[in-house]
Amino acid sequence: MRPRKPDSIHPGDEIGATFLQNISDRADLAASMVGINGIGVRVEKGRIVISGEKGLRQTTEPGMVMTVLNVGATDLDVYSVAGLGDNFYTSRPRSLTSRVLEVQEPEAYNAGEFVVTLQRIPQDQVGLAYFSGVCLARLVREFDGPLLNRADCLAGEQALRASVNGPVRILWEETTDLDGDPLDAEEEHLAVIHWDGRGGTYLDWHNDGGTSVYRGCPIMSSEAGTGDGISNDRLGMQRPDADGMFMAMINVGGTVATGENGKMLTGAGPFMARLNAATLAMRPCGTLAATTDTFVVDSIFWRVMAYLGTNVAGEHWAIIQRDTMAPLLKATADAVGDTITCETTDEDGAVSGEELTLPTAFIP
């Protein structure tokens, strides 16, 4: 038998698993040593992508891909968000192998449930889309800074929106445009995202009220139809129409018109919500009938954790959560029946000027 160096191979030799593993290991080692334009990849306790002196550790799986059909009325661009449809599509109804998932431009009820397109998918055409793992996606920020490090989809938008909630985490994103200038507010850019499922608790709701409800606004049970708050197999909700709505939910996923369905967030928070004015962190807030589109500063039952400022539309936004601190209240009129008119006060007893009509059971 002729001598040969270890790990070498000649015609007629058997190729074993160990030999193939050595080839794979050497390929990974070469990738970490030789890069193109300063880019390298090293596989070691996860995948590390290196550009110059910066490294991004990717310890999770790459984005998984499925075949989808665009059944909406709008073409879907590459790395766009697409809401999940109601059915699988197939040209042969009894064939399981020809089915593909239906998608469309997101609607209000698609919050937390979407895919990201891997290629441009025109209307009525089939293409590929990511549905889990790590992938590229288009992103928009209403407010600067790393505080909003998660993202979700909104109705009518093919780019994700940065938020404190949402099923995906923002791992990295562009900070400048193609000319090298800082991104403007609402400017669309690319981001690396990871589906990790740690969003808020979403519930379906049906707008039984007479007015559209915008994203980030409070909603309350309407007790429509049967009187138990169930409507169209979803919770019947509407904008608050009475003072002191302390158990309000928050509408997410975009504007929900009268008679349409949407998603809402429940729980203690934190949530992103609209305010009626600027405020400071740790100030109370709540809802009033006079300003049903927003949470009112210096009201009760909620607390501002961080005031985000105004966006390009001039709307006030904040991160709020349910208040665990007892508000200071002062009665401003005698009780009428089971209700009493109150105002919140500061530590010195000065009233805020915002009146709340509350059940007397809530007054100590």
What are the two backbone dihedrals, phi and then psi, of residue 27, each rounded to the nearest 5 degrees?
Answer: -65, -40
Domains plus CATH for the chain?
27-56 (no CATH), 64-195 (2.40.300), 201-322 (2.40.300), 329-362 (no CATH)
Q: What is the pLDDT of residues 235-246, one digit of tens each?
A: 888 888 765 556
Over range 219-245, report the average pLDDT.
Answer: 71
Distance of alpha carbon 237 from alpha carbon 207, whole angstroms = 5
Q: Tell which residue, 231, 310, 245, has the closest CA to residue 278.
A: 310
Over range 241-264, report the average pLDDT.
Answer: 84
Q: Percent of the chain at pLDDT above 70?
A: 74
pLDDT for position 351: 77
Over range 99-118, report the average pLDDT.
Answer: 93
pLDDT for position 248: 81
Written as one letter, the residue type at 101 is L
Burial code (b: 16+ CB inside 10 Å, e: under 16) for 298-324 equals: bbbbbbbbbbbeeeeeebbbbbbbebe
pLDDT for position 240: 84
Distance of alpha carbon 40 from alpha carbon 58, whole angstroms = 13
Over range 218-234, report the average pLDDT.
Answer: 69
Let me know: does 202 contact 263? Beta carbons within 8 Å.
Answer: yes
The encoded tokens of residue 341 equal 């008119």
Q: Does residue 1 or residue 294 have the better pLDDT?
A: 294
Give the pairing of strands 296-297 and 302-310. Answer: unpaired
Q: What is the pLDDT of residues 341-359, one digit of tens each?
A: 877 777 677 777 767 777 6
Q: Report residue 45's pLDDT band, with 50, 70 and 90 as the boundaries.
A: very low
- Mapped onto helix, strand or coil, the DSSP state of residue 358 is strand
Over range 69-91, report the average pLDDT.
Answer: 90
Q: What is the pLDDT of residues 299-353, one digit of tens each?
A: 778 899 999 999 989 999 999 998 877 667 788 888 887 777 877 777 677 777 7
The encoded tokens of residue 114 equal 């979407």
The encoded tokens of residue 140 equal 């928009």
pLDDT for position 91: 64
The encoded tokens of residue 310 equal 């105004």
Let me know: does 137 contact 157? Beta carbons within 8 Å.
Answer: no
Q: What is the pLDDT of residues 167-192, one digit of tens each?
A: 999 999 998 888 888 888 889 999 99
The yes-or-no verdict on residue 43 having pLDDT over 90 is no
Distance of alpha carbon 71 from alpha carbon 354, whole angstroms = 48
C-alpha separations of 326 from 57, 67, 111, 284, 299 in Å = 44, 52, 33, 10, 12
Q: What's the CA angle centered on 162, arms 126 and 305, to 5 degrees?
A: 150
Let me know: does 293 contact 240? Beta carbons within 8 Å.
Answer: no
Q: Tell which residue, 312, 330, 356, 323, has the closest CA to residue 143.
A: 312
Q: What is the pLDDT of residues 122-134, one digit of tens each?
A: 999 999 999 988 8
